[in-house]
Amino acid sequence: MLPQDQIEVGDDGFRQWDVITALDMDAMVNTVKGWMENPVKFARSHGVTVSATPDGSDPQSDIHILIVEGFLLYNYKPLLEVYNKCYYVTIPYEECKMRRSMRTYTVPDPAGLFDGHVWPMYLKHRKEMSETNLDFQYLDGMKSKEEIYNHVYEDIQNTLVNVL
Protein backbone atom coordinates (compact mmCIF):
# COMPACT_ATOMS: atom_id res chain seq x y z
CA MET A 1 0.00 0.00 0.00
CA LEU A 2 1.30 3.42 -0.89
CA PRO A 3 1.44 6.24 1.68
CA GLN A 4 -1.84 8.14 2.14
CA ASP A 5 -0.48 11.31 0.55
CA GLN A 6 0.15 9.37 -2.68
CA ILE A 7 -3.42 8.03 -2.94
CA GLU A 8 -5.50 9.95 -5.45
CA VAL A 9 -8.97 11.30 -4.77
CA GLY A 10 -11.42 10.08 -7.39
CA ASP A 11 -14.39 11.67 -9.09
CA ASP A 12 -16.53 10.14 -6.34
CA GLY A 13 -14.71 12.32 -3.77
CA PHE A 14 -13.07 9.37 -1.96
CA ARG A 15 -9.42 8.40 -1.75
CA GLN A 16 -8.88 5.59 -4.23
CA TRP A 17 -7.52 2.86 -1.92
CA ASP A 18 -9.24 0.10 -3.90
CA VAL A 19 -7.38 0.53 -7.18
CA ILE A 20 -4.23 -1.15 -8.45
CA THR A 21 -2.29 2.14 -8.50
CA ALA A 22 -2.68 2.41 -4.70
CA LEU A 23 -0.57 -0.74 -4.32
CA ASP A 24 3.14 -1.32 -4.89
CA MET A 25 2.57 -4.19 -7.29
CA ASP A 26 6.15 -4.09 -8.60
CA ALA A 27 7.32 -4.98 -5.10
CA MET A 28 4.76 -7.81 -4.99
CA VAL A 29 5.97 -9.23 -8.31
CA ASN A 30 9.61 -8.97 -7.24
CA THR A 31 8.84 -10.72 -3.96
CA VAL A 32 6.97 -13.58 -5.64
CA LYS A 33 9.65 -14.01 -8.30
CA GLY A 34 12.39 -13.93 -5.64
CA TRP A 35 10.64 -16.77 -3.84
CA MET A 36 10.16 -18.71 -7.09
CA GLU A 37 13.88 -18.51 -7.91
CA ASN A 38 14.92 -20.07 -4.62
CA PRO A 39 12.32 -20.62 -1.90
CA VAL A 40 14.83 -21.82 0.69
CA LYS A 41 17.20 -18.89 0.20
CA PHE A 42 14.21 -16.52 0.19
CA ALA A 43 12.89 -17.94 3.46
CA ARG A 44 16.28 -17.72 5.15
CA SER A 45 16.78 -14.14 3.96
CA HIS A 46 13.48 -13.29 5.65
CA GLY A 47 14.40 -14.85 8.97
CA VAL A 48 12.62 -18.17 8.50
CA THR A 49 14.58 -21.19 9.68
CA VAL A 50 14.62 -23.93 7.06
CA SER A 51 15.98 -27.25 8.23
CA ALA A 52 16.30 -30.71 6.76
CA THR A 53 13.16 -32.79 6.69
CA PRO A 54 12.76 -35.71 9.12
CA ASP A 55 14.07 -38.11 6.48
CA GLY A 56 17.25 -36.01 6.22
CA SER A 57 16.63 -34.81 2.65
CA ASP A 58 17.85 -31.45 1.44
CA PRO A 59 15.24 -28.66 1.86
CA GLN A 60 15.94 -27.55 -1.72
CA SER A 61 14.43 -30.79 -3.05
CA ASP A 62 11.25 -30.47 -0.96
CA ILE A 63 7.94 -29.16 -2.26
CA HIS A 64 7.53 -25.48 -1.45
CA ILE A 65 4.20 -23.68 -1.38
CA LEU A 66 3.73 -19.93 -1.49
CA ILE A 67 0.33 -18.53 -0.66
CA VAL A 68 -0.23 -15.04 -2.04
CA GLU A 69 -3.17 -13.30 -0.40
CA GLY A 70 -4.68 -9.91 -0.99
CA PHE A 71 -7.18 -7.98 -3.00
CA LEU A 72 -6.65 -7.19 -6.68
CA LEU A 73 -4.11 -10.01 -7.08
CA TYR A 74 -6.11 -11.39 -9.98
CA ASN A 75 -6.32 -7.98 -11.64
CA TYR A 76 -2.58 -7.51 -12.19
CA LYS A 77 -1.38 -9.12 -15.41
CA PRO A 78 2.29 -9.67 -14.45
CA LEU A 79 1.15 -11.97 -11.62
CA LEU A 80 -1.42 -13.99 -13.58
CA GLU A 81 1.22 -16.33 -15.01
CA VAL A 82 2.52 -17.50 -11.62
CA TYR A 83 -0.65 -18.88 -10.04
CA ASN A 84 -1.20 -22.63 -9.85
CA LYS A 85 -4.39 -22.42 -7.80
CA CYS A 86 -6.79 -19.52 -7.43
CA TYR A 87 -9.30 -19.05 -4.61
CA TYR A 88 -11.73 -16.21 -4.24
CA VAL A 89 -13.81 -15.60 -1.13
CA THR A 90 -17.26 -14.17 -1.79
CA ILE A 91 -19.84 -12.71 0.56
CA PRO A 92 -23.17 -11.01 -0.12
CA TYR A 93 -23.52 -7.24 -0.09
CA GLU A 94 -25.33 -6.99 3.28
CA GLU A 95 -22.77 -9.18 5.06
CA CYS A 96 -19.86 -7.30 3.52
CA LYS A 97 -21.36 -3.94 4.55
CA MET A 98 -22.01 -5.18 8.09
CA ARG A 99 -18.46 -6.57 8.47
CA ARG A 100 -16.94 -3.38 7.11
CA SER A 101 -18.95 -1.28 9.56
CA MET A 102 -17.61 -3.36 12.47
CA ARG A 103 -13.95 -2.78 11.55
CA THR A 104 -11.97 -0.14 13.42
CA TYR A 105 -9.70 2.10 11.36
CA THR A 106 -7.25 4.74 12.55
CA VAL A 107 -9.06 7.13 10.23
CA PRO A 108 -12.75 6.11 10.16
CA ASP A 109 -14.52 5.58 6.84
CA PRO A 110 -16.24 8.76 5.66
CA ALA A 111 -20.02 8.61 5.38
CA GLY A 112 -21.17 6.90 2.19
CA LEU A 113 -17.81 5.28 1.41
CA PHE A 114 -19.09 1.71 1.31
CA ASP A 115 -22.02 2.31 -1.03
CA GLY A 116 -20.37 5.13 -2.97
CA HIS A 117 -16.97 3.55 -3.52
CA VAL A 118 -16.05 0.25 -1.82
CA TRP A 119 -18.87 -1.95 -3.14
CA PRO A 120 -18.87 -0.47 -6.68
CA MET A 121 -15.09 -1.00 -6.87
CA TYR A 122 -15.50 -4.58 -5.63
CA LEU A 123 -18.03 -5.28 -8.39
CA LYS A 124 -15.84 -3.62 -11.03
CA HIS A 125 -12.70 -5.55 -10.03
CA ARG A 126 -14.57 -8.84 -9.67
CA LYS A 127 -15.90 -8.46 -13.23
CA GLU A 128 -12.38 -7.69 -14.54
CA MET A 129 -10.99 -10.65 -12.60
CA SER A 130 -13.57 -13.02 -14.08
CA GLU A 131 -12.37 -12.00 -17.56
CA THR A 132 -8.79 -13.23 -16.90
CA ASN A 133 -9.60 -16.86 -17.78
CA LEU A 134 -8.00 -18.09 -14.55
CA ASP A 135 -9.59 -21.17 -13.02
CA PHE A 136 -11.08 -19.92 -9.74
CA GLN A 137 -12.56 -21.80 -6.87
CA TYR A 138 -15.12 -19.54 -5.29
CA LEU A 139 -15.25 -19.92 -1.51
CA ASP A 140 -18.33 -19.09 0.54
CA GLY A 141 -17.30 -16.28 2.90
CA MET A 142 -20.34 -17.03 5.06
CA LYS A 143 -18.60 -20.19 6.24
CA SER A 144 -16.23 -20.10 9.19
CA LYS A 145 -12.54 -19.36 8.73
CA GLU A 146 -11.83 -22.94 9.78
CA GLU A 147 -14.15 -24.39 7.14
CA ILE A 148 -12.59 -22.23 4.42
CA TYR A 149 -9.07 -23.10 5.59
CA ASN A 150 -9.86 -26.82 5.69
CA HIS A 151 -11.34 -26.72 2.20
CA VAL A 152 -8.28 -24.99 0.74
CA TYR A 153 -5.87 -27.21 2.69
CA GLU A 154 -7.58 -30.39 1.46
CA ASP A 155 -7.66 -29.09 -2.10
CA ILE A 156 -3.94 -28.34 -2.06
CA GLN A 157 -3.20 -31.74 -0.51
CA ASN A 158 -5.26 -33.47 -3.20
CA THR A 159 -3.47 -31.51 -5.91
CA LEU A 160 -0.08 -32.53 -4.53
CA VAL A 161 -1.12 -36.19 -4.29
CA ASN A 162 -2.25 -36.14 -7.91
CA VAL A 163 0.98 -34.44 -9.06
CA LEU A 164 3.34 -36.72 -7.16
CATH number, residue 118:
3.40.50.300
- 34, HSE (Cβ side, Cα atoms, 13 Å): 12
Show the domain range for 129. 4-163
What value does the mean pLDDT take over residues 18-42?
A: 90
- Please, where are the H alpha helices in the chain? 25-37, 39-45, 77-80, 93-102, 113, 119-130, 145-163
Residue predicted with more confidence, 99 or 60? 99
pLDDT at 9: 86
Q: Which of 11-15, 106-110, 118-122 reaches the highest mean pLDDT?
A: 118-122
pLDDT digits (tens, 9 = 90+) for 39-52: 999 999 989 887 76
Number of domains in the chain: 1
Confidence check: pLDDT of 5 > 90: no
Q: How confident is the model at residue 53 (pLDDT cuts 50, 70, 90)?
A: low
pLDDT at 17: 80
Percent of the chain with pLDDT over 90: 56
